[in-house]
């Protein structure tokens, strides 16, 4: 396939994974140029751009103009055009169809050249109103697996909103296993996928292609040893896909939008404790309904059934503490969070059963555990994935989290 431009991006190999790196910082002048163009700011009118914060794939800037503050997010070209467009489509669709408060996208630019930036522009503060701590809503279903795509997504620009856009449908799956490193150039299906069978088969084929290439090219003995351990389990899991997920060639699988990164840093609240925004919708996709039974990250903490008692914990600096409730060492607050999330998980599971009585949560365990095995088979938990494959081949059910301890939040 033709190699899209990824100018400005390089991948750095760490101990456990590849991470994207900026080869150079985004041009403030280019950001200002994009803002003036899309917000119709005249050359004589003020427009200031200031760096705010950064994430793994993005840098965030505050843009000030006469019309008020905006936030500009500039993205690395990890999946040129598709990642930016998919996130815009997802945000527009969520605002139109689901009662989850998200940023309002004013404009975006998905090019990647020296005159512009791959970015999206939304209003800061005022028009980010309000979470349903959940990943789907009853009745809001899609057909097929993939990241949302809108055929007329360009109409978001110049004041056109979600009401002007064509019907949403899944498109290419914008997910890290499909674009990290050289994966963007592998000759494999990229979506939309009709079923869990097709999707997970593609993911496993990526692992097989990558590890085969490692064996063929590397001179590093440790890398060879890892590949020789990973390849057999990936092939075993690929052979097991039809057993866990029978193919359905006649009809696309019913899916729902699933936020896989719903942790506390992505949920904003005001001084009253009211949720004002849910953030980080990049790579959020339409996924199988069994994925929606996973506990969200905001509730994924170690189990702690006994409530921690304040008097059982030492003060951080006893001689300097006037307010004992605020001077406890960090361990108390860690344990408090673990206890609270343990109680909230119970409420979450009860509520999920009430909202979705027709779905057998127990039957989802096999699918979820197979997904965990696929996700971990080329990482540090490959031996855990091997044990999971052993159980599946024997037709036995064993929770993936129980193979070696707990802590996966399932």
Q: pTM for this structure?
A: 0.82
pLDDT value at 160 more than 60: no
Q: Which two tokens stand for residue 396?
A: 């036995």
Picking from 171, 199, 141, the residue whose alpha carbon sits closest to that of residue 371 is 199
Residues 6+ apart with CB under 8 A from 43: 36
Res 380: pLDDT:
78
Q: What is the mean pLDDT of the chain?
A: 80
Report, as an integer, the average pLDDT of 186-197: 94
264-282 b/e (C-beta count within 10 Å ≥ 16 → b)? eebbbeeeeeebebbbbbb
User: Residue 173: its pLDDT value, please?
Assistant: 95
Nearest to 78 by CA among 5, 27, 16: 5
The runs of H, that is alpha helices, within 356-397 are: 361-376, 382-393
pLDDT tens across 267-326, in order? 888 888 888 888 888 899 999 999 888 889 999 899 999 999 888 887 665 555 555 555
pLDDT in tens, 216-227: 998 889 889 999
Q: Where are the domains of the chain?
A: 9-176, 293-403
Q: What is the pLDDT of residues 42-97, one digit of tens each?
A: 999 999 999 998 888 889 899 999 988 888 888 898 998 888 888 888 988 888 88
Give 108 or 147, the one with higher predicted confidence. Answer: 147
Closest CA to 288 of 359, 234, 382, 388: 359
CATH fold of 9-176 reads Phosphorylase Kinase; domain 1 (3.30.200)
Could you give the strand order of the β-sheet that contains 254-258, starting from the edge strand earlier in sequence?
142-143, 254-258, 285-288, 146-149, 169-170
Nearest Cα neighbor of 286 from 193, 376, 165 is 193
- For residue 192, is the peptide bond before it cis, meaning its omega torsion is within 30 degrees of 0? yes
Contact (CB, 8 A) for 38 and 70: no
53 secondary structure, DSSP code: E
Distance CA 215, CA 270 (A): 52
Spatial neighbors of 86 by CB under 8 A, at least 6 apart, are: 147, 148, 149, 171, 172, 174, 282, 283
Q: Which run of H or of E encompasses 355?
A: helix 330-355
């Amino acid at each position: 396939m033709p190699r899209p431009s990824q100018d400005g991006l390089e991948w750095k190999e760490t101990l456990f994974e590849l991470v994207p790196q900026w080869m150079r910082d985004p041009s403030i002048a280019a950001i200002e140029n994009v803002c003036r163009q899309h917000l119709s700011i005249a050359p004589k009118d003020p427009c200031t751009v200031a760096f705010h914060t950064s994430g793994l794939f993005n840098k965030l800037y505050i843009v000030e103009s006469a019309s008020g503050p905006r936030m500009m997010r500039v993205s690395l070209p990890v999946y040129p055009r598709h990642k930016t467009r998919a996130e815009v489509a997802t945000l527009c669709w969520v605002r139109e169809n689901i009662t989850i408060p998200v940023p309002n996208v004013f404009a975006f630019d998905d090019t990647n050249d020296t005159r512009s930036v791959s970015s999206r522009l939304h209003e800061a503060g005022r028009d980010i109103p309000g979470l349903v701590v959940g990943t789907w809503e009853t009745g809001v279903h899609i057909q097929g697996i993939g990241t949302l795509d809108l055929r007329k997504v360009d109409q978001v620009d110049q004041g056109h909103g979600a009401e002007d856009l064509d019907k949403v449908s899944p498109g290419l799956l914008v997910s890290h296993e499909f674009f990290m490193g050289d994966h963007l150039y592998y000759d494999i299906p990229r979506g939309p996928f009709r079923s869990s069978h097709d999707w997970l088969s593609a993911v496993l084929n990526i692992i097989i292609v990558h590890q085969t290439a490692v064996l063929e090219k590397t001179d590093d003995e440790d890398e060879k040893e890892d590949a020789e351990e990973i390849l057999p389990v990936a092939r075993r899991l690929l052979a097991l896909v039809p057993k866990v997920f029978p193919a359905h060639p006649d009809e696309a699988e019913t899916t729902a939008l699933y936020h896989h990164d719903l942790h506390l840093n992505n949920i904003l609240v005001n001084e009253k404790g009211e949720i004002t925004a849910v953030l980080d919708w990049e790579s959020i996709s339409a996924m199988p309904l069994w994925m929606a039974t996973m506990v969200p990250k905001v509730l994924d903490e170690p189990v702690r059934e006994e409530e921690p008692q304040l008097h059982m914990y030492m003060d951080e600096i006893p001689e300097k503490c006037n307010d004992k409730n605020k001077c406890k060492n960090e361990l108390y607050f860690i344990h408090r969070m673990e206890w609270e999330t343990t109680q909230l998980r119970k409420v979450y599971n009860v509520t999920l059963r009430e909202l979705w009585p027709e779905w057998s949560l127990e039957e989802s365990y096999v699918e979820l555990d197979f997904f965990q095995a696929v996700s971990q088979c080329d990482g540090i938990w490959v031996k855990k994935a091997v044990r999971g494959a052993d159980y599946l081949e024997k037709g036995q059910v064993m929770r993936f989290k129980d193979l070696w301890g707990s802590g996966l939040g399932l």
